[in-house]
């Protein structure tokens, strides 16, 4: 019998899966734009999104050298039936399907971040091209083989994955938290309202006190109380991110660095 050969149309291994620069596939998205079909990722298509922030939602950094209170940003997925988004009628523009939902949430205090606003180079993962927070990559699912676009945040970088596995991603938390701080420094998000940090600290202290009052075994108590105490310490030491002058913002745009980039001396 002749030597068996693979069919010419076999596409089980999507093109570009073993490329060392997978981050380079993360092209900026305009929602309407569609990327090239070359280098498809092995994952099902998904929906585009906005990132948004509510003035009551904040978090303490986990990667910055100095504990800093940063805006907590979440996704608003643009899909019919989700977040108040409706099915677009014939003849309507894409924006009409989610325009009313955005207006309703804005009235509730939500701040929607501009998907076209560029991110400073120092706030992007290595290898990710310049652009905004939403990126699109051509993809093809492994099961039903549906071809389309996979939308991701700029910090959710695809990594090399086995051909028969769903595409994996690695989130760059350090660069993401730089960007969260920059949102406040540049005035895109207003600084924290006075009193919110004190409320967050009180809640963390209550959690520690409740943990101390539980009838736990010594090993469990040490681990649980230590975990809660570390959170409390971070809140007590944290300072809210502050808006900077336009001159200082320009310096950041020219070369964004944080204390975490500088060599740390022993004992500090």
Nearest to 97 by CA among 89, 88, 106, 105: 88
Q: Give the strand pairing for 168-171 and 239-240.
A: unpaired
CB atoms within 10 A of CB 59: 15
* Sign of the four-CA dihedral 33, 36, 37, 43: negative
Question: What does the pLDDT look like over 58-97, one tens digit per residue?
Answer: 999 989 988 999 999 999 998 888 888 888 777 677 777 8
SS3 212: helix
Helices (H) and strands (E) in the chain, counts: 5, 9
Give dist(CA 131, CA 183) in Å, integer: 15
More reliable by pLDDT, 176 or 195:
176
pLDDT confidence band for 206 (50 / 70 / 90): very high
Q: Give the pLDDT of residue 15.
A: 45
Question: What does the pLDDT look like over 105-161, one tens digit per residue?
Answer: 999 999 999 988 999 989 999 989 999 999 999 998 888 889 999 999 999 999 888
Are the beta carbons of 29 and 48 closer than 8 angstroms? Answer: yes
Residues in the chain: 268
């Amino acid at each position: 019998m002749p030597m068996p050969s693979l069919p010419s149309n076999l596409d089980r291994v999507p093109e570009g899966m073993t490329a060392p620069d997978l981050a380079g596939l993360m092209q900026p998205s305009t929602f309407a734009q569609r990327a090239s079909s070359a280098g498809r990722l092995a994952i099902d298509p998904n929906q585009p999104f906005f990132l948004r922030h509510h003035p009551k939602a904040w978090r303490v950094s986990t990667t910055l050298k100095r504990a800093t209170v940063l805006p907590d940003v979440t996704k608003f997925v643009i899909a019919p039936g989700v977040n108040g988004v409706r099915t677009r009628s014939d003849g309507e523009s894409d924006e009409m399907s989610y325009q009313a939902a955005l207006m309703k949430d804005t009235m509730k205090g939500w701040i929607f971040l501009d998907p076209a606003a560029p991110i400073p180079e120092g706030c992007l993962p290595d290898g990710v091209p310049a652009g905004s927070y939403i990126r699109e990559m051509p993809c093809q699912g492994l099961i039903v083989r549906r071809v389309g676009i996979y939308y991701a945040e700029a910090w959710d970088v695809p990594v090399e994955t086995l051909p028969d596995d769903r595409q994996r991603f690695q989130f760059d938390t350090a660069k993401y938290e730089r960007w969260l701080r920059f949102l406040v420094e540049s005035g895109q998000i207003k600084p924290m309202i006075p009193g919110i940090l004190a409320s967050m600290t009180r809640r963390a202290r209550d959690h520690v006190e409740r943990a101390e009052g539980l009838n736990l075994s010594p090993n469990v108590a040490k681990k649980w109380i230590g975990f809660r105490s570390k959170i409390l310490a971070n809140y007590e030491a944290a300072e809210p991110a502050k808006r900077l002058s336009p001159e200082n913002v320009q310096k950041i745009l020219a070369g964004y660095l944080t204390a975490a980039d500088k060599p740390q001396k022993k004992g500090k």
